Chains A and B, each alone.
Chain A
Amino acid sequence: MSIAAHPHALDEPVVLEKTVVVSWKAPIAYAVFTVLLLLLVLFGSRDASTTFRLSAATDAVKLGDVTVPAVLTGWVTVILLAILTVYSVILVQAKRRVPLWLTVVFALVFMFGFLTWAAAGSTIPVTGLLFGAVSLAVPLIYGSLAGVIGERVGVVNIAIEGQLLAGAFSAAVVASITRQPWLGLVAAMIAGVLVAFVLAAFSIKYFVDQVIVGVVLNVLVVGLTSFFYSQVLVANAATLNTPPRFDRIPLPLLSDIPIIGPVLFRQTVIVYLMYIAVALVYIGLFHTKWGLRLRAVGEHPQAADTVGIKVNRTRFWNVALAGAIAGLGGTFFTIGSGIAFNKEMTAGAGYIALAAVIFGQWDPIKATLAALLFGFASNLQNTLSVIGSPVPSEFMLMLPYVVTILAVAGFVGKSRAPAASGRPYIKS
Chain B
Amino acid sequence: MKLELRGITKRFGSLVANDHIDLTVEPGEIHCLLGENGAGKSTLMNVLYGLYQADEGEILLDAAVQHFAGPGDAMSAGIGMVHQHFMLIPVFTVAENVMLGHESTKAGGLLDVAAARARVKEISDRFGFDVDPDALIEDLPVGVQQRVEIIKALSQEAQVLVFDEPTAVLTPQETDELMGIMRQLRDTGKAIVFITHKLREVREVADRITVMRLGKVVGEAQPTASNAELASLMVGRAVELTVHKEAPTLHDEALVVTGLTVVDAIGQLVVNDVSFSVRGGEILAIAGVQGNGQTELTEAILGMQPRVEGSIVLDGKELAGRSIRRILDDGVGFIPEDRNEDGLVGEFTIAENLMLDRSTTKPFVKGANLQLRYLADFAREKVKEFDVRTPSIETKVGRLSGGNQQKVVLARELSRDLRLFVAAQPTRGVDVGSIEFIHKRIVATRDAGIPVVVVSTELDEVEALADRILVMYRGKIVGIVPGGTPRDVLGLMMAGEAPPAEDAVATEGVVA
Contacts and interface: CB of A to CB of B under 8 A. Distances in A.
Interface of A: 1-8, 10-11, 13-14, 16-21, 283, 287-290, 292-293, 295-296, 299-300, 302-310, 419, 427
A287 B86 CA distance: 24
A299 B87 CA distance: 11
Contacts of B268: 16-19
A21 B309 CA distance: 13
Nearest to B292: A14
A308 B72 contact: yes
B103 A306 contact: no
B453 to A, nearest CB: 22
A411 to B, nearest CB: 15
A233 to B, nearest CB: 42
A156 B341 CA distance: 25
Interface string B135-153: 1000111011000000010
B267 A305 contact: no
Contacts of A283: 110
A8 B91 CA distance: 25
A16 B475 contact: yes
Contacts of A290: 109
24 contacts: A1-B128, A3-B130, A10-B141, A10-B495, A11-B131, A11-B132, A13-B140, A14-B139, A21-B266, A21-B267, A288-B105, A292-B96, A292-B111, A293-B100, A299-B91, A300-B89, A300-B90, A304-B89, A304-B101, A306-B81, A306-B87, A308-B70, A308-B101, A419-B90
Contacts of A6: 173, 495
Say which size band chain B's interface belongs to. 35 or more
A307 B96 contact: no
Given A3-B129, A288-B109, 4 more contacts: A18-B268, A19-B268, A293-B100, A296-B92
Given A17-B475, A18-B268, A307 B90 contact: no
Interface stretch (B174-182, B359-367, B404-412): B174-182
A305 B51 contact: yes
B101 A307 contact: yes
Interface of B: 49, 51, 70-73, 75, 81, 83, 86-92, 96, 99-103, 105, 109-111, 127-132, 135, 139-141, 143-144, 152, 173-174, 177, 180-181, 184, 263, 265-270, 272, 291, 307, 474-475, 495-497
Given A3-B181, A21-B307, A296 B100 contact: yes
Given A296-B89, A306-B51, A19 B83 contact: no
A196 B179 CA distance: 50
A420 B70 CA distance: 21
A44 B152 CA distance: 67
Contacts of A295: 89, 91-92
A7, A18, A296, A303: residue with the most chain B Cβ atoms closer than 10 Å: A303
Is the contact region of chain A dominated by helix, strand, or loop, or is it mixed?
A: loop
Nearest to A305: B71
A292 B93 CA distance: 11
Nearest to B128: A2
Closest 5 CB pairs of A and B: A308-B72, A307-B101, A303-B87, A13-B139, A2-B128
A306 B111 contact: no
Contact of A299 (B73, B90, B110, B111): B90
A311 B293 CA distance: 35
A306 B267 contact: no
Contacts of A1: 128, 180, 184
Nearest to A309: B101
A279 B173 CA distance: 48
Given A13-B140, A21-B307, A309-B101, A3 B127 contact: yes
A310 B266 CA distance: 35
A16 B140 contact: no
Nearest to B88: A303
Nearest to B110: A287
A307 B272 contact: no
A318 to B, nearest CB: 16
Contacts of B269: 16-19
Contact of A300 (B87, B184, B497): B87
A289 B71 contact: no
A67 to B, nearest CB: 48
A8 B497 contact: yes
A307 to B, nearest CB: 3
Contacts of A5: 177
Nearest to B76: A308
A3 B177 contact: yes
Contacts of B70: 305, 308, 310
Nearest to A97: B267
Contacts of A18: 267-269
Nearest to B496: A8
B141 to A, nearest CB: 6
Contacts of B129: 3
A387 to B, nearest CB: 45
Contacts of B83: 306
Contacts of A287: 110-111
A208 B358 CA distance: 36
A21 B100 contact: no
Contacts of A303: 86-89, 100
A289 B72 CA distance: 16
A367 to B, nearest CB: 17
Nearest to B81: A306
A10 B174 contact: yes
Contacts of A8: 495-497
B364 to A, nearest CB: 34
A273 to B, nearest CB: 20
Contacts of A307: 71-72, 75, 87, 100-102, 152
A234 B160 CA distance: 69
A136 B168 CA distance: 55
A20 B92 CA distance: 26
Contact of A289 (B103, B140, B184): B103
